[in-house]
Copies of this chain bind each other. A is one copy, B any other.
Amino acid sequence: MSKNFRDMLETFDNEFPERDYTIEITCPEFTSVCPKTGQPDFGVLLFEYVPDKVCVELKSLKMYLQQYRSEGIFYEKVTNEILDDFVAVSQPRRATLTARFTPRGGISSVITVEHIAQS
């Protein structure tokens, strides 16, 4: 499933590969669907990564994230899956995804997943 979404992510060449530098991307308008209740979930995604050969193109990231709008998927799964797609496509030196979901039943959740490239 997620594999189809992954194809939407585009990249462009990193012009400064000789230097480790950090790119943070905040996407405050993420929404998916709770597979248990059918109710929409909402969250803010923060990507922080050190690019290697390529950078992730922002507009394609936006379009990619919109694919989850009708997708029934749990918090833990969606966070891990999105980071996996991000890493598979851009092969960064390091990448962290922090997903802050809005409260449900008075309880709010933050999931933080990290990837470090094997050297």
Q: A residues engaging B (CB < 8 A)?
A: 14-16, 19-29, 31, 39-40, 42, 51, 55, 58-59, 61-62, 66, 69-70, 76-77, 79-80, 102-114
Give how many copies assemble into the complex: 10
Residues of B within 8 A of A79 (CB): 21
- Distance of A75 Cα from B36 Cα, bound (Å): 28
- Distance of A107 Cα from B114 Cα, bound (Å): 21
B105-A62 in contact (CB<8A): yes
- Distance of A108 Cα from B27 Cα, bound (Å): 7
Residues of B within 8 A of A108 (CB): 25-26
Chain B residue with the shortest CB-CB distance to A36: B59
B25-A109 in contact (CB<8A): yes
